[in-house]
Amino acid sequence: MQVLPEGFVLPPLPYLIGVLAASVLVAAALYRRRPPVTEQVVIALAPWMIVGAGLYALEQAAVIPSLFVPLASAPTVYLTMFVIAGTIITVVGHRRPEQFSFDSCPGILALTGVLALTGVLAIALLTAFRNAPVHAFWPSVAVAGALVIAGVVRLVGHRYRSLQIDLTGWAGVLVVFGHALDGLSTAVGLEFLGFGEQTPVSRLVIEFGGVWLFVLVKILIALVVVYLMADYVREEPSEGYLLLAIVTAVGLGPGAHNVILFTVVG
């Protein structure tokens, strides 16, 4: 039985050793410095999650220079983004982690991420126009749908405090948005653009109950996770928000990858 998603390949040995060594060094530095993970830090990590997703999409579209292809392929691209974002957090992690300003950790992390993301999206759009027609309608529908779902969750969570969703703040909303985007982008890719599902577990769910059941399951799981994490975030904020960041990446990364890939290659 296939466990890993299709397209997952290990890079050549020199790249593998290099990225693993860098990841271990960054992880060790983060463990030693223990920078606080706040709601603002989780939000600031979102652009870097999309950068990684975009690089993987561009690698699949064969527009990444050959020298950097091993670093942009899956699963290595996740370690590449960890090394970059982790290095930034290691250096500035203790600078006002609960504020967005030009010299705070969330501000620096978000600004560098947005700059990198601007470059990735610019290349993606240029590639899409070069391969015209641009297939941006259905990916845009997926993004809009995810935004609506996340917005409703934010409003409901704020209105009904007993649901505890509001305790996780915008980080919890980002979790729901990421997984809604993953589900909806998968749905439009399968239903309207002729793409297939690469992840074995997701493919089993789709084969069992259809693509829209998959969307519903993704959203429900995200809501349950946010609900269960609420008390943990309140009692152990740094650890709780770190887990929310990981859960966000699992949804936002694949969802953003789908949107960018569909737009580029249609």
Q: How confident is the model at residue 3 (pLDDT cuts 50, 70, 90)?
A: very low
Is the sign of the CA dihedral 172, 216, 178, 6 positive or negative? Answer: positive
Q: Is 261 left (phi over 0), alpha (psi -120 to 50) or beta?
A: alpha
In order of 136, 139, 163, 166, the CA distances from 159 in angstroms are 34, 30, 9, 9
CA-wise closest residue to 22 among 87, 107, 73: 87
pLDDT value at 256 more than 50: yes
pLDDT value at 162 more than 80: no
pLDDT score at 265:
87
pLDDT value at 128 more than 70: yes
pLDDT value at 16 more than 90: yes
Where do we find the tokens 């527009």?
63
Of all residues in the chain, what percent carry a pLDDT higher than 90?
Answer: 82
Q: For 235-240, what is the mean pLDDT?
A: 95
pTM of structure: 0.94
pLDDT value at 7 more than 70: no
Q: For 207-231, what is the mean pLDDT?
A: 92
Cα dihedral 150, 252, 225, 200, rounded to 10, equals: 130
The answer to whether 61 touches 127, Cβ cutoff 8 Å, is yes
Give the contacts of 264 (CB within 8 A, at least 6 positions apart). Answer: 57, 58, 61, 124, 127, 128, 131
CA distance 22 to 245: 21
If you ran DSSP here, which 8-state letter would residue 5 be given? Answer: P
Give the contacts of 114 (CB within 8 A, at least 6 positions apart). Answer: 47
The answer to whether 36 touches 93, Cβ cutoff 8 Å, is yes
pLDDT, tens digit (0-9, with 9 covering 90-100), for 43-57: 999 999 999 999 999
pLDDT score at 2:
43
pLDDT value at 197 more than 60: yes
Mean pLDDT for all residues in the chain: 93
Structure tokens at 198: 């690469």
